[in-house]
Structures are given as structure tokens and as C-alpha cells.
Amino acid sequence: MYSMAPGAGSKRAAGAQGFAGHGGGKRRAVDQSLEEDVVPESRQYMELLTFEKHLDSLMARKRGEYLTAQRNPQKNTKRPLRVFLSCTAKMDEEGRLRWTMRVDGKIQVDGLQKKHKKQFSNFLDRMFVEFLADSPGGGAVGSSPAVAESAEWQRSPSVEESDGFEIVRTAEGLTGPVQARVLLYLQHEPSQHRLAPELAGMIGLFQGTRHEVIRAIWEYVTVNKLQDAENPEIINCDKYMQQCFPGETQLNFTEIPVKLNQLFLPLQPVELIYTIPMVGGQPAREIYDVWVEVDDGEHEQIDLQAHKDLEPAIDTKRDEIARLKAEIGEARQKREFMLMFAKDPKEFLVAWLGSQARETRDEGAKGALTEEQRAANFYNTPYSKEAVYRYYGEMLKKRHEELK
């Protein structure tokens, strides 16, 4: 049934505008979806809704991390670990050039180097230094430098912790500069993993502990409503989960921790480059900052008020979207009405009046009278008169054609 009243749909629009008026109560969910054929921009709008749902999932996880950090004062803080690469050179008793390379590290707090209970080696699981030297004569253009030597430090119970490492070598047989490639494999407690691209793209987490990854997957499942209606332990895999777990359309959530092993990759080391000239001059010191997690008792207070201040603006935008959706629905209904009305005014009016009559009989308790219906203001509206003109115009046109 199509409404003929000019203000049809105004109640829906008013309901959308007054949606934010439920002070203090929990906001009801609003269906913001649109059919793709309503307006040309509908498809892009639905893609934005999908992106917003994914973003809401990430924000919910981050909010949980913030709240956990506030409740847990032992939460580690990320601090820059300043790494110093330096070198000194001198001639030994046999007249050979001997150089000493040092790798030192200090925790930075507010731009200052502070003594910390953990030493530089506490933050490392392994360190590998590779010295790359040009071959005599320079070698072919574009060729890779030859590996002169390498040094490695591996964490073990028997090795003492230290704030720095020292590597001593001679420059015998080397005619060009030596490039030191330092690879730092950081120590993480608990262990962290690098995620496969398909899993990282799904949950928006590229590195984390096993617990963080499982929690992120659970939030993805709940936000996208992938739990089976009959058995909540069963997960109905969408296309993104099927990319992570090929061949699986349904999964028991208890199977996911085991299947995650194939999606965990080793962490990439931090790579630092340092050049040691073998002829003339002392090399400059290079400084790098590497971010590590530190439990130093000086934790930043996480303030969620900034996020809460944005909620009224977000609610206002959602109310505006609901209002615009109601207006689009009303405009679409009026357009369909006008198209059917213009196609065959007589048949449409007969069908519409029959519908109104049935509705009136169904609402007999209101006591609507036939005479009142005949005298309704509807017949004085401009489009009612236009319908009469169109009807008689079509009748005269047909009669004129018959007389010809």
C-alpha cells in the first residue's frame, strides 16, 4: 500500500531524529544497510559500513588493552633502547692495524639515559654481526660484497649480562672499507610471533603473543557474528577466515589455537648498518633507537576521556545516517507511487481506493463513515485534480482516435 499524504514518512524521520533522546538508556542498534540499487553511491556506502565494522573490532580490542593497562600497574611500557655503534683503531706491536668495534645500549626515559636494572643483553635473545668487505680490486660492478668475518652472541645461562659487546679484529688483507651488518634478535616475555599476511589482514595485528592473537580472533568472530546459532562453540568461517584456514567452512573454536601454529612466523631481526674505513681517519659513531618493552615502574597513565569525548559526535553522525536513510526510504516510496500513478492513473486509483476501503473496514473501531470519506480533503489536493485531468484527457484522446 502506498501513502498519498504529502507528509508520509514524517513519523519515521522524526523517530530517527529523536533517536538520541533516550537519555541515559542503552542505545538501540540501527540497521544502516541500504539496497545497492537505491542510489548510485549505495555500494560504496556498504563497503564503508564493512570497513567500519572491522574498525570497531580493532577499537574494541584496543580499548580492552587500555583498560587492562589501567588495572594492571605491572604492564610494561615501551621505551627506546638507544644502541651505539662505535669503533677505534690502533697499530699493534707487530705493526698491524687492529680495530675494536663496540655495540652498547642504554634505555632512554624522557630523552635521558638512565641506569636500569636490566642491562643491554637482557633485551637480546641473540646478536649476529657480519662484516662485509669489498674484494681486492673492487670486484665486478653490482656484485655482492664478500663476507670477511662474522661474530655471534647467543643467550645462555652461563653467559653474564652486559651493557655492551666488543669485537676485536685486524685489518690484514683488507684494502677497502668494511661494512658491519648487526642483527639484533630481541627477547620477548612472553614469546611473540609474526603473523602470516592473511591472518594479520583479518585481525589487524601483525605481531603479538599467542594470547593476544586468540583474543583478537575471538573479537573478530563476535563482532562479525560468526558463531553458529545452534552450537556457539562452532564458528562459521567467512571468506577471510577461510583464507587463514583453507578448506574449512566451520571450526570448533578449541581447534584454532592448534591451527595457529602454521600461521606463526619467526620475528624479523632489527638490522643496523655501520661502516668501518680501513684506511685513514676514525669512523664516526652511529646511534639507533630500538623500541622495547620495559617494566621500569614509570608507567604512563592511559586516559580514555579523549575517546569518550568523541562518542557524542559519533552518535550524532549515526543519528544523521538513520535520518538520511529514512528520508531515502520515503523518497523511494514516493517515487514508486508517482511512477505507478503516471503509468495508469485510473487503475492505480481504483486499487488504492480498494486498499483504503479494506483498511477502513479493518479499523471499524474508529467509526469511519462513507460520507466523510467522500468529502475528504484528499480530493482537493493538486495531484488528485491532475489525476482527473489525465484520466479525462486519455478518454478524450481515445474517443478522438475512434472518430477518425
75 neighbors 301 (Cβ within 8 angstroms): no
3-state secondary structure of 266: coil
* Measured CA distances, 68 to 62, 301, 374 (Å): 10, 12, 69
Q: Return the H-helix or E-strand segment holding 11.
A: helix 10-17
Distance CA 64, CA 204 (A): 15
Architecture of the structural domain at 77-188+268-296: Sandwich (2.60)
Please say whether the beta carbons of 297 and 94 come within 8 A: no
Closest C-alpha to 195, from 212, 178, 177: 212
What is the chain's pLDDT, residue by residue, as a tens digit (404 residues)? 333 433 333 333 333 333 333 444 444 455 566 665 556 667 777 777 777 777 777 777 777 766 666 665 555 678 889 999 998 888 877 877 788 889 999 888 776 666 677 888 989 999 999 988 654 433 333 445 555 688 999 988 888 888 899 998 877 666 667 889 999 999 888 889 999 999 999 998 899 999 999 999 999 999 889 999 999 889 999 999 999 999 999 999 889 999 999 999 999 999 999 988 765 555 678 999 998 888 755 444 545 555 566 778 877 887 888 888 788 878 888 888 888 888 888 888 888 888 877 776 665 545 545 565 566 676 777 777 788 888 888 888 888 888 87
CATH 3.30.70.260 correct for 192-265: no
Q: How far is CA 231 from the centre of its chain?
A: 28
Q: pTM of the prediction?
A: 0.52
Structural element, H or E, at residue 293: strand 286-294
- Amino acid residing at 186: L
- Which helix (H) or strand (E) is 68 found in, with range? helix 42-71
